[in-house]
Amino acid sequence: MAVKDQEKTAFITPFGAFCYVSMPFGLKSAQAIYQRCVQNCLHNQIGRNVHAYVDDIVVKSREKETLVDDLRETFDNLRVYKMMLNPAKCVFGVPAGKLLGFLVSQRGIEANPEKIKAITSLAKPTCINDVQRLAGRIAALSRFISRLGEKAMPLYQLMKKTDDFVWNDAANAAFEDLKRQLAEPPVLAAPVDKEPILLYVAANTRAVSVAVVVERKEEGKEYPVQRPVYYVSEVLIESKQRYPHWQKLVYGVFMASRKLKHYFQGHPITVVSSAPLGDIIQNREATGRVAKWAIELGPHGLKYVPRTAVKSQALVDFINDWTELQVPQEKPDNTYWTIHFDGSRQLEGSGAGVVLTSPRGDKFRYVQRLMFPCTNNAAEYEALLHGLRMAKEMRLSRVRCFGDSDLVAQQVSGKWDSKDPLMAAYCREVDAIAGHFQGYQVEHIDRRKNEAVDALSRLGSQRKPVPPNTFLDILHNPSVKLPTAEDLAIPDPEAQLVAALHIIPDWTVPYLAYMTRGELPEDETLARQITRRSKSMIIVNGELHRRSVTGTFQRCVSPEEGQEILREIHQGDCGHHAGSKSLVAKAFRHGFYWLMAHADAEDLVSKCDGCQRFSRRAHVPAQELRMIPITWPFAVWGLDMVGPFKRSKDKKTHLLVAVDKFTKWVEVEPVSKCDAATVHEKGDISLWFSTQHYN
C-alpha cells in the first residue's frame, strides 16, 4: 500500500493505533483494485494463454511443448509487479483444474464433483431448513441444469409453507429427478471471443427458461454441432404468470440479457424461437412493458430467426420438455345443438314450447305465452322462431330443429309452397334468422317423440305456472306482420321520388377494415389513433369487441344504441337517475362500449327534467378541514390491525396497535385473530391509565 494512503486505514485498538501496510481484502474496493492490478500485470497474456479473476490465475497451453514458455512469460510479468505466489496453492502441468468452483479442462466447463456429491448424498429433507439448504446447493449448480425453475417448483413451493411442513410425492419426485440429472451433468462449452451465440427461449405457465449455446464444427462430424454454454431459469411471480405466452417469451430474452450481460455485450446473439419475437420487440407501436424491454434490448443488436433442426441432444431434451404453449386456435364447431319445438292452441289461448339440447345433453326449456289470437300453424312457427332466437343469442353455429308439424318442416325446407301470405311471412322470418347459423336443418318427427315439448306448449296455452328451471316468455304481438294491399301494390315509377341521403358511417367500420384487411384512412392522425386503439379490440362473429382494463370484453355498439342503453339505465323501469359517470361505468360493466359514451351521458343528465329539478346541489363554499379537538391525553385512540406475520409459538399472527392522538403513545398487543370480537376484547386500553373522558 502506498505510504501516503497507509494512515487512511488507521484503526484504534487497546494497544494503540495501527494501520495497514498492504492491501487487505476486507476493504470495500480491495477486490476491484487487485483485479485491476492483475489486469495490468498480465495484459499481454489475458485471453491468449491466461485467464485471471482476482487472485485466481490459470495458465493454459494447447501443447505440452509450450507449457514451459507460457509459465516463463507469466512469471516474468509477475516479477515486474513484484507479485508473490503461494507454492502450497499452485499446481502445474495438470489436464484439469478448479476455477471459481468449477472444473475446467480441455473438454469444457464441468460441475464440481464435490458440489454434486453434496446433493446426491443428501437425505430427504425433514424440515423447512433442510429444503432451504437443498435449494442453496442446487442454485450453485443452476447453470448446468436445464429448466431448473420447472423441475424444482415443488421444492420452492414447500419453502413458502412455514406452518406445516409435509414432504409430498411431488417434492420427492423433483428431488430424485434432480439427482438423476446431476449424476450425468452436461459439459458446458466456453465461448471464444466474438463467437456467435444462439439463444433458445421457452416458457410455460409458471417459469421461463433460456439455453445459451454455440455452434461449432467438430472432427468426425459432417455438420456443425451445438453445445450448451449456460442454462438460465426463473420462476415467475403471480403477476408475471398472468402475462400472455408471447410476453413470457420476450421476458425470457430480457431476463437473460440482465443475468448474462457479459455474453450479450461480447458476442453477437441470435434468438431462436418459433414465435415471431422479432416482430413483437421491434414493433414501433409497442406500449407498456414490451416497449420498456425493447428499449433495453435495443443496444445489443439481437437477431431473431425461426427454430429449425436442433443439432444437440441436450437442446432436444430442453425443447421437448418445454413444449411452447400457443394461443389456442378456435376450432370450427362441427357439433349440432338440437331444438325441439311445438305450438298449441286451446280455448284459453295459444302457447309455444321449446327445448334446446347441447351435444353433452344439457337441456334448456322455454315456455312462451302468445297473447294474441293465432292459428295452430302460426303457434308452431312462433315456437320455431323462439327457439332460433334463443340459439342466436347463445351464439350457436349449428342447429337441428325437430317438430311434429309437417307443414312447417316442408315449407321451411322449400318442398312445399307457402300460398298463405301469413305462412309466407313466417317462412321469410325463419330464413332471415337461419342465415346467422353455419349449419341449419328442420326435420319432421312423430308426435310421440315430441311429448316433452308438447307438455310445455300446453302450459303456455293454458296459462299454467311453469315448473322450475324453465324460462317463461310472454309475446304480445306476432313475430311477423301480414302484408297489406298497399304493401303488395306495385308503385308507379314516375311517382317515386329520389332523394340524396347522407348516411353517417358507423365508428366501428374503420377498425374492422384495419383488423380484417389492413386498410387505414388517409388522415395520419386518425390512422395512428385506429392503430393504437385496435390493440385492445377483437372481432367475435363479425362484431367488434373491446377488452376493458379488467379483462372483460365489451361489445362495440353504435352511438344510437349507446344512447338508448343510457336512457334505459338512467330512467328505465329500474332507473335511479344516476350521474353521468355512474351511467357510463354501469354501461361498460354490462359489456357495452362506444366512443362518445361520456359526452352522451352528460348530455342525457343535463336534459333530464327530473334531475334538473330534484337533484341535490351543494352551493356551500368549500372550507378548511376541521379536526376533532383533542384536549387531554388518552381521550381519543386510533386502532389498527397489522399483519399477518409468521405464526409465533403461542399462535399469534397479528398485532393490534393503539396510538393515543394526544401523546402519540403506542400500545401493541399480539392477537391470534383479526376480527371484531378480538378488538372488542382488547378495547379497554384507555382504562389502563385514567377514567374515560366524554365530550
Mark whether 236 and 356 lie in a shared domain: no
Q: What angle do CA 275, 281, 282 make, to 5 degrees?
A: 115
**Within a domain: residue 191?**
no
Is residue 483 one of the residues assigned to a domain? no
Whether residue 694 is predicted with pLDDT greater than 50 in this model: the reply is no
For 198-229, how does the pLDDT look when each residue is reduced to its tens digit (9 = 90+)? 989 888 888 899 998 888 887 777 778 888 88
Statement to judge: residues 447 and 365 lie in one domain: yes
Q: What is the pLDDT of residues 377-411, one digit of tens each?
A: 888 999 999 999 888 888 888 889 999 888 888 88
In 3D, which of 140, 271, 156, 290 has the Cα closest to residue 211?
A: 271
Q: List the single range of 92-96, 380-384, 421-425, 663-667 with lowest mean pLDDT.
A: 92-96
Whether pLDDT at 504 is above 60: no
Three-state secondary structure call for residue 360: coil
Backbone angles phi, psi at 585, to 5 degrees: -60, -40
On the question of pLDDT at 603 being above 60, the answer is yes
Quote the percentage of the chain above a pLDDT of 70. Answer: 88
Residue 51 has a pLDDT of: 84
Average pLDDT over residues 465-487: 78
The residue that leads in pLDDT, 313 or 536, is 536
Gap between the Cα atoms of 96 and 351, Å rounded = 92
- Per-residue cell: 50: 491466461
CA 185 to chain centre: 34
Q: In this predicted structure, what is the pLDDT of residue 322?
A: 42
Domain boundary among 475, 494, 529: 475
Please state the rounded mean pLDDT for residues 623-628. 70
- Residue 498 in domain: no
pLDDT recorded at residue 485: 55
Q: Grid coordinates in use for 320? A: 421437448
Residues 212, 302 within the same domain: yes
679 sits in the region (left: phi over 0; alpha: psi -120 to 50; else beta) called alpha
Q: Is 184 helix (H, G, I), strand (E, B) or coil?
A: coil
Report the alpha-carbon distance of residue 523 to residue 652 in Å, rounded: 65
In a shared domain, residues 344 and 471: yes
pLDDT of the residue at 483: 60
> How much is the pLDDT for 535?
82
**End position of a domain, from candidates 58, 93, 128:** 93
DSSP 192-238: PTT--EEEEEEE-SSEEEEEEEEEE--TT-SS-EEEEEEEEEEEPPH
Pair 54, 35: CB distance under 8 Å = yes
In this predicted structure, what is the pLDDT of residue 500? Answer: 43
What kind and span of H or E run contains 148? helix 148-151
CATH for 583: 1.10.340.70
Report the pLDDT averaged over residues 508-529.
85
pLDDT (0 to 100) of residue 690: 52
**Better-predicted residue by pLDDT, 310 or 421:** 421
User: How far, in whole angstroms, is CA 599 from its chain's centroid?
Assistant: 33
CATH code (residue 647)? 3.30.420.10
For residue 238, pLDDT beyond 50: yes
What average pLDDT does the segment 428-443 reach?
86
- Does 103 fall in a domain? no
The β-bridge partners of 93 are none
Residues 41 and 132 in one domain: no
Assigned C-alpha cell, 111: 460441475
Q: Could you read off the pLDDT of 90-139 as tens digits, one per residue?
A: 888 887 777 777 787 778 888 888 888 888 888 888 888 888 888 888 88
In this prediction, residue 327 carries a pLDDT of: 36
Confidence at residue 137, expressed as pLDDT on a 0 to 100 scale: 86
Does residue 345 share a domain with residue 292? Answer: no
pLDDT value, residue 310: 52
Residues 511, 595: one domain?
A: yes
> Quick one: pLDDT band at residue 340, thresholds 50, 70, 90?
very high
CA 175 to the chain's CA centroid:
29
With H, G, I as helix, E, B as strand and everything else as coil, classify residue 651: coil
Q: What local confidence, expressed as pLDDT, does residue 628 receive?
A: 65
Average pLDDT score over residue span 450-473? 87
Q: State residue 695's pLDDT score.
A: 37
Q: How confident is the model at residue 323 (pLDDT cuts 50, 70, 90)?
A: very low
C-alpha cell at 593: 362500449
Mean pLDDT for 687-694 is 50
* CA 223 to chain centroid: 40
Residue 492's pLDDT band, with cuts at 50, 70 and 90, is: low
The pLDDT tens digits of the residues spanning 141-188 come to 888 888 888 888 888 888 876 667 788 888 888 888 888 888 888 888
Q: pLDDT-based confidence at 366, cuts 50/70/90?
A: very high
Structural element, H or E, at residue 386 = helix 376-393
Q: Cell digits for 578?
A: 344516476
Helices 153-160 & 169-183 angle (0-180, nearest 10): 130
Express each pLDDT in 522-571 by its tens digit: 888 888 888 888 888 888 877 888 888 777 788 899 888 889 999 888 88
Res 495 pLDDT > 60: no
Return d(Cα 652, Cα 538) in angstroms, integer. Answer: 50
User: Are residues 538 and 469 part of one domain?
Assistant: no
Residues 563, 685 within the same domain: no
pLDDT on residue 402: 92
pLDDT above 90: percentage of residues in the chain? 4
Rounded Cα distance between 322 and 324, Å, is 6
Instruction: State the pTM of this model.
Output: 0.45
Whole-angstrom CA distances from 553 to 94, 268, 288, 393, 565 are 67, 42, 20, 16, 17
Q: Which of 320, 350, 368 is the last residue of a domain?
A: 320
Look at residue 619 and tell me if it is in a domain. no
651 in a structural domain: yes
With H, G, I as helix, E, B as strand and everything else as coil, classify residue 68: helix
Q: Are 572 and 547 in contact (CB under 8 A)?
A: no
Of 461, 409, 460, 454, the C-alpha closest to 430 is 409
The per-residue pLDDT of the chain, averaged, comes to: 81
Closest Cα to residue 315, out of 394, 441, 211? 211
Any domain includes 521 = yes
pLDDT for the residue 401: 92
Please tell me the total count of domains within the chain. 6
What is the arithmetic mean of pLDDT over 365-380?
89
pLDDT bucket at 685, cuts 50 / 70 / 90: low
Question: What residues form DSSP beta bridges with 338?
Answer: 357, 400
Which residues are within 8 A (CB) of 465 and not within 5 positions of it... i.e. 6 or more apart?
Answer: 459
Same domain, 220 and 302: yes
- With CA atoms as reference, report the closest residue to 441 among 493, 486, 504, 391: 391
Q: Is 158 exposed, middle or buried (0-12, 13-18, 19+ CB in 10 A)?
A: buried
Residues 6+ apart with CB under 8 A from 155: 131, 134, 135, 138, 171, 174, 175
Q: Give yes or no: residues 608 and 641 share one domain.
A: no
pLDDT at 506 > cutoff 50: yes
- Residue 496 within any structural domain of the chain: no
Q: Which domain holds residue 419?
A: 337-475
The reported pLDDT for the residue numbered 320 is: 44
Q: Phi and psi at residue 352, in whole multiples of 5°?
A: -140, 150
Any idea which of 324-333, 411-420, 637-646 has the lowest mean pLDDT? 324-333
Which residue(s) pair with 198 in the sheet? 213, 270
| Domain at 137, CATH number | 3.30.70
352 and 471: one domain? yes
